[in-house]
Amino acid sequence: MPLLVIRHAESVENADKYNGFYQDPRPYNGPAAHAISRTVVGLTPRGFRQAQWLAGVLPDLAGPEPRVYTSTYRRAIDTATIALPGLPDEWPRQTALLDEQHYGDATYMTKRELYESYPELAEDRRLRKHIWTAPGGGESLAEDVLARAAEFVALARADLQESHTVVAFTHQTAAVALRSLVEGRTLPEILAEERKGKMPNAAILRYELRDGRFARTGITTPPM
């Protein structure tokens, strides 16, 4: 049975981040910025079209009775709701295991503000992004996000072994961690690919569990 990892459809943050959310200087503190990111940021009109495109392609990929999970962020939940509207009441299920990396007090800081506010963290953020730990209660990719992703992969394995397709609506950084685990590749290797071109919004990464190991079978991307 397949595991489908989907980055949420385009959000207003994706489309206009440097004219809106990443103002310099930032007009809100870290906790307020994180609350905005989690609960306010929704989809653009293009994001709605991408989610509707997902609604046209996912049923064939997912098959009957898929196990569908989303992060706890609005943009992932909205994508799943539009993409798979006919699910039973208990699905999709929200799980923090699929949440975006928590950037703590640095949420929505420009790089200038970040480096000036936390100069001791600047080198890691520039050169070793995977081990950089966001200040003020934030996460690192290599420890915190990867640990959450490992829990989700274990959950997905259990569902797959019960012959259920697993569909995960998540975020770019969380998808990096999931890719590292299921593809058996290092975070720096995945991040190097991401620097050349991020996983598109609404893209579907497809995997199959074969003899206990995941095999990537393709990627489906939206036409818009």
What pLDDT score does 11 carry?
Answer: 95
Q: Report residue 50 as tokens.
A: 């991408």
List residues bridging with 207 in a β-sheet: 3, 216
Mean pLDDT for 6-14 is 95
For residue 41, give its domain range: 2-220
Question: In total, how many domains does the chain have?
Answer: 1
What pLDDT score does 21 carry?
Answer: 84
For 16, other C-beta atoms within 10 Å of its C-beta total: 12
Alpha-carbon distance 46 to 216, whole Å?
Answer: 28
Q: What is the CATH number of the domain that holds 84?
A: 3.40.50.1240
What letter does residue 43 receive in the DSSP assignment? B
The H or E element that residue 60 is part of is: helix 45-62
Q: What are phi and psi of 102, to 5 degrees?
A: -85, 115
Mean pLDDT for 199-220 is 96
For residue range 37-48, list pLDDT tens digits in order.
999 999 999 999
Per the prediction, the chain carries an average pLDDT of 95
Selection from 175, 165, 161 nearest residue 211 by Cα: 161
Q: Report residue 87 as tokens.
A: 């699910």
Residue predicted with more confidence, 126 or 144: 144
